[in-house]
Amino acid sequence: MTSDFTPSAIGVIGAGIMGEALISALIASGVSPSTITISEKRDDRASELMAKYGVHSASLEANVAKTEVLLLVVKPQDMATVLEEIKDVLNPAAVVVTFAAGKKIDFIASILGGKRSIIRVMPNTPALVGEGMAAISSGPDVSPSHTQFVRGFLEATGQVVEVDEKLQDAVTAVSGSGPAYFFAFIEAMVSAGVDLGLSSEVATQLSIQTMVGAAKLLTTSGKSATTLRENVTSPNGTTAAALASFNDAELGKIVKSAMRAARDRSQELA
């Protein structure tokens, strides 16, 4: 479904790695670069993105005053300060899209005041290569066309799901922080490979390609992770020995504990 909402001015507050990914996604989804304005404290970064994407740059106040869609790509600890700075100049009809972990729609609305169209998004860093996972939650004053517009450009970064906002902390624990779990596991595999006598280069190549191939097999085979795991595990074989070691170390409990910690921290950031 295509959105019938076509904003003429989109503001991006915070032009770091994720901010750039969103700019790229907007353009890939058909948004004209001339309608995108960034507000970035680092002049060299702003100049870099203007040259690379053809977007504009403006002060925070000037950007916010004219925007119809405002993307808040700021750290959770900076959110309250930014909202206080923009609340008096923000267009009342603007759609506010927040990408900060833990910060609830009610929190943002309470500072901005009045009825506001607010959409909360939890993206992840694979959005940088078009393989992201984003979860969106729309506030009570958001129209379906606004939600569809946001969903539409986020789909240029990967996959998108819509969830009830109360589940956003769980989303943060699964997909928001999830890439770091994967990277940590790769680090451990490489280190173990080196301990077993492989060079760092070969251990890295083996580990990364194994994960890339396994992920592709999982997404294309139509089989569950459980079935694929069982298919590669011969009785009393090498894989069975490794998995038994994981079970002895209670890998499932480790993962659950880690994800609960991520969820709890997200709740603390509210």
The pLDDT profile of the chain, 270 residues, written as one tens digit per residue, is 456 888 999 999 998 999 999 999 999 999 999 999 999 989 999 999 999 999 999 999 999 999 999 999 999 999 999 999 999 999 999 999 999 999 999 999 999 998 899 999 999 999 999 999 999 999 999 999 999 999 999 999 999 999 999 999 999 999 999 999 999 999 999 999 999 999 999 999 999 999 999 999 999 999 999 999 999 999 999 999 999 999 999 999 999 999 999 999 999 987
Q: Are residues 102 and 146 in the same domain?
A: yes
Last residue of a domain, one of 168, 198, 232: 168
Tell me how many domains the chain contains: 2
Last residue of a domain, one of 168, 201, 225: 168
User: Residue 256 belongs to a domain with what CATH number?
Assistant: 1.10.3730.10
Instruction: Name the pTM for this structure.
Output: 0.90
Q: Are residues 25 and 110 in the same domain?
A: yes
pLDDT for 2:
58
Would you say residue 249 lies in a domain? yes
What's the CA gap between 242 and 14, in Å, rounded? 44
Task: Output b/e per residue, 95-131; b: 16+ Cβ within 10 A.
Answer: bbbbbbbbbbbebbbeebeeebbbbbbbbbbbbbeee
Would you say residue 4 lies in a domain? no
Q: Are residues 22 and 116 in the same domain?
A: yes
Would you say residue 60 lies in a domain? yes
Last residue of a domain, one of 131, 147, 168: 168
Would you say residue 3 lies in a domain? no
Would you say residue 33 lies in a domain? yes
Q: Are residues 162 and 182 in the same domain?
A: no
Q: Are residues 187 and 156 in the same domain?
A: no
Q: Are residues 200 and 137 in the same domain?
A: no
Q: Are residues 116 and 184 in the same domain?
A: no
Q: Are residues 117 and 205 in the same domain?
A: no
Residue 16, helix vs strand vs coil: coil
Q: Report in angstroms the alpha-carbon separations of 159 from 2, 5, 111, 155, 260.
A: 16, 21, 31, 6, 24
Q: Are residues 256 and 187 in the same domain?
A: yes
What contacts 1, CB < 8 A, 6 or more positions away? Answer: 148
Q: Are residues 206 and 91 in the same domain?
A: no
Would you say residue 173 lies in a domain? no
Q: Provide the domain limits for residue 141.
A: 10-168
CA dihedral of residues 163, 165, 166, 169 (deg, nearest 10): 90
Would you say residue 236 lies in a domain? yes
Q: Are residues 159 and 221 in the same domain?
A: no
What's the CA gap between 42 and 19, in Å, rounded? 13
Nearest residue to 16 (alpha-carbon basis) of 43, 45, 37, 44: 45
Would you say residue 51 lies in a domain? yes
Q: Are residues 82 and 144 in the same domain?
A: yes
Residue 141, helix vs strand vs coil: coil
